[in-house]
């Protein structure tokens, strides 16, 4: 796929890889007929099916087909083969907004422009009955003219997903940006939750760091629940007031998008006009078939099927009450001092389990699955103190954020330490939050 001469579906000349995730890679490409540059997201269908993420892919297609707005990334077409699914999308030459913010705070006028474009796009989503649920700088891309566009609707919800109480109930999102009511798991208004995330982004743009920061994830959740943050001295009074209104922990009191758009700070230099290029999704003829399911199939259920192998679902506040001293700041504690280790991962539980099995098989260790996300890994040869045994237990914070606790339950401690340090720990690096994703994100923003 790195071969630039490769032609996909006799239509797109493939170029360099722009990025990759757990089950997808994104490539730069050019339409042979029109010379239009695009980004093609190549998804491994086998991995998606194995991880149980096909509904998420279908949801993303359904939502993106509804989104025709100048500040939302266009999905041009979807193609599929027996092994791959291809999203042909608008190419965003400017990359992620996060890359700009990671260098430090933005000038007020620049931050205002991005915030105006963000709020305008989110208002459009909500008017179409779509809630993004994972708004953060990494999911805000910039085009060649520096205009902001929302991407990655994989965790979005349609209005049809609401229960009879009119609320959404699936906990999802990125910890530093997630609204307190989402963490509380009592049901939440998708629009209000998105507004909170916009408030965190608003603060980050102008401050250069997160409003809720702590190396201890539980302490960060506590601060989010109480909206415990301080505005830096350079925030003008009107920005301070707007921040407090958006980051109100009570969703009923939280300011609406309409009121944000009426705020004097927001309205400065805002014309509200929207223009759309002629290459919008409705002008194209997509091939939207994935195993017989079209992109217009909105019958996606919010609730997951019961699974005995599913990890224990734990609210962050439940964990705080169970263990007041529970601290995630020392991810992967030095095994020379302890017989257990903890790490967090953004991958689904199925992917974590699959990786643990892969590592165990490579090291010729036996794997025994138990209920509630617990796995027992055992040595095949008897050591100085019997057979080495390690329990791996997975706890779910959100569907895409897990805590994994690995603990030696039998065998020699020195043998365990050697195996852990030299073999298991390095092999798990691809699933560790401490080495990629949110932890690095927090560290980068905190250092600015």
Contact 348, 399 (CB under 8 A): yes
What pLDDT score does 399 carry?
A: 58
CA atoms within a 13 Å half-sphere pointing along the CA-CB vector of 323: 11
Tens place of pLDDT for every residue, the chain, 448 residues?
444 458 999 999 999 998 877 678 899 999 999 999 999 999 988 888 877 778 778 878 888 887 889 999 999 999 998 899 999 999 999 989 988 998 899 999 999 999 999 999 999 999 988 888 889 998 999 999 999 999 887 666 555 454 444 544 454 557 789 899 887 767 888 899 999 999 999 999 999 999 998 877 778 888 999 999 999 999 999 999 999 999 999 999 999 999 999 999 999 999 776 545 434 444 434 444 444 443 333 332 333 334 444 554 444 434 333 333 333 333 333 434 456 777 777 777 788 888 888 888 888 888 887 655 578 888 888 888 888 899 888 876 655 567 788 888 888 888 888 888 888 888 887 777 643 333 344 343 444 3
What pLDDT score does 76 carry?
A: 93
Residue 262 sits in the same domain as residue 332: no
Residue 150 sits in the same domain as residue 223: yes
| Counted domains in the chain | 3
Task: Compute CA distances 314 → 226, 236, 393, 403, whole Å.
Answer: 20, 39, 12, 10
Kindly report the CATH number assigned to the domain that includes residue 370. Answer: 3.30.310.80
Contact 187, 207 (CB under 8 A): no
Question: For the whole model, what pTM was predicted?
Answer: 0.65
Residue 303: inside a domain: no
What pLDDT score does 97 carry?
A: 93
Exposed, middle or buried by CB within 10 Å (0-12, 13-18, 19+), for 327? middle
Residue 307: inside a domain: no
Residue 428 sits in the same domain as residue 383: yes
**Of 37, 58, 91, which residue sits at a domain end?**
91
Residue 41 annotated as lining a ligand binding site: yes
Say how far apart CA 193 and CA 187 lie, in whole Å: 11
Residue 11: inside a domain: yes
Residue 306: inside a domain: no
Kindly report the CATH number assigned to the domain that includes residue 243. Answer: 1.10.510.10
Residue 159 sits in the same domain as residue 104: yes
What pLDDT score does 156 carry?
A: 61
Q: Which domain does 43 fall in, by range?
A: 7-91
What pLDDT score does 216 carry?
A: 78
Residue 290: inside a domain: no
What pLDDT score does 429 carry?
A: 77
Residue 244 sits in the same domain as residue 223: yes
Q: Which residues of 169-201 are buried (b: 16+ CB within 10 A; e: fewer)?
A: bbbbbbbbbbbbbbbbbeebbbbbbbbbbbbbb
- Name the pairing type of β-strands 340-345 and 95-96: unpaired
Residue 134 known to be catalytic: yes
Residue 126: inside a domain: yes
> Residue 380 contacts by C-beta under 8 Å, 6 or more apart in sequence?
364, 365, 366
Kindly report the CATH number assigned to the domain that includes residue 56. Answer: 3.30.200.20
Residue 72 sits in the same domain as residue 100: no
What pLDDT score does 112 carry?
A: 97
Residue 75 sits in the same domain as residue 113: no
Residue 117 sits in the same domain as residue 217: yes
Residue 326 sits in the same domain as residue 253: no
Instruction: Name which of 41, 143, 136 is nearest 98 in CA terms.
Output: 136
**Of 91, 125, 153, which residue sits at a domain end?**
91
Residue 117 sits in the same domain as residue 136: yes
Residue 284: inside a domain: no
Residue 278: inside a domain: no
Residue 342 sits in the same domain as residue 355: yes
Contact 206, 198 (CB under 8 A): no
**Of 72, 91, 110, which residue sits at a domain end?**
91
User: Active-site residue among 5, 44, 74, 134?
Assistant: 134
Residue 184 sits in the same domain as residue 202: yes
What pLDDT score does 27 carry?
A: 94
Looking at 377-429, list the stretches that DSSP marks H as alpha helix, in order from N- to C-terminal side: 413-419, 425-427
């Amino acid at each position: 796929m790195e071969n630039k001469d490769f032609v996909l579906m006799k239509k797109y000349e493939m170029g360099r890889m722009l990025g990759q995730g757990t089950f997808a890679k994104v490539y730069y490409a050019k339409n042979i007929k029109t010379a239009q540059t695009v980004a093609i997201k190549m998804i491994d269908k086998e991995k998606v099916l194995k991880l149980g993420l096909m509904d998420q892919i279908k949801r993303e297609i359904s939502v993106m087909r509804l989104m025709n707005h100048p500040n939302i990334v266009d999905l041009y077409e979807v193609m599929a083969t027996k092994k791959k699914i291809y999203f042909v999308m608008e190419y965003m030459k400017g990359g992620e907004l996060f890359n700009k913010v990671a260098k430090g705070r933005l000038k007020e006028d620049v931050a205002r422009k991005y915030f105006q474009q963000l709020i305008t796009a989110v208002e459009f989503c909500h008017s179409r009955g779509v809630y993004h649920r994972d708004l953060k700088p990494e999911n805000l891309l910039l085009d060649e003219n520096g205009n902001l566009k929302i991407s990655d609707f994989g965790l979005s919800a349609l209005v049809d997903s609401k229960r009879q109480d009119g609320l959404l109930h699936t906990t999802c999102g990125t910890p530093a940006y997630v609204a307190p009511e989402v963490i509380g798991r009592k049901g939440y208004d998708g629009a209000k939750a998105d507004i909170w995330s916009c408030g965190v982004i608003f603060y980050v743009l102008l401050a250069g760091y997160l409003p809720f920061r702590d190396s201890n994830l539980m302490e960060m959740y506590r601060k989010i629940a109480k909206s415990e943050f301080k505005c830096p001295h350079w925030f003008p009074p009107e920005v301070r007031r707007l921040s407090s209104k958006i980051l109100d922990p009570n969703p009923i009191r939280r300011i609406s998008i309409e009121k944000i758009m009426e705020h004097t700070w927001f309205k400065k230099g805002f014309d509200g006009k929207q223009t759309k290029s002629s290459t919008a999704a409705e002008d194209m003829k997509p091939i939207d078939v994935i195993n017989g399911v079209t992109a217009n199939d909105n019958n996606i259920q919010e609730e997951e099927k019961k699974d005995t192998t599913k990890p224990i679902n734990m609210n962050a506040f439940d964990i705080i009450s169970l263990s007041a001293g529970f601290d995630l700041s020392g991810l992967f504690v030095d095994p020379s001092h302890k017989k257990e280790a903890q790490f967090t991962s953004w991958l689904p539980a199925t992917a974590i389990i699959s990786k643990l099995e892969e590592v165990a098989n490579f090291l010729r260790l036996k794997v025994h699955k138990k209920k509630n996300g617990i796995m027992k890994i055992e040595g095949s040869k008897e050591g100085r103190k019997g057979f080495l045994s390690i329990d791996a237990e997975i706890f779910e914070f959100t569907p895409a954020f897990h805590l994994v606790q690995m603990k030696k339950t039998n065998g020699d401690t020195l043998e365990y330490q050697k195996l852990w340090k030299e073999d298991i720990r390095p092999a798990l690096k691809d699933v560790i939050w401490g080495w990629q994703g949110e932890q690095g994100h927090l560290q980068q923003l905190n250092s600015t």
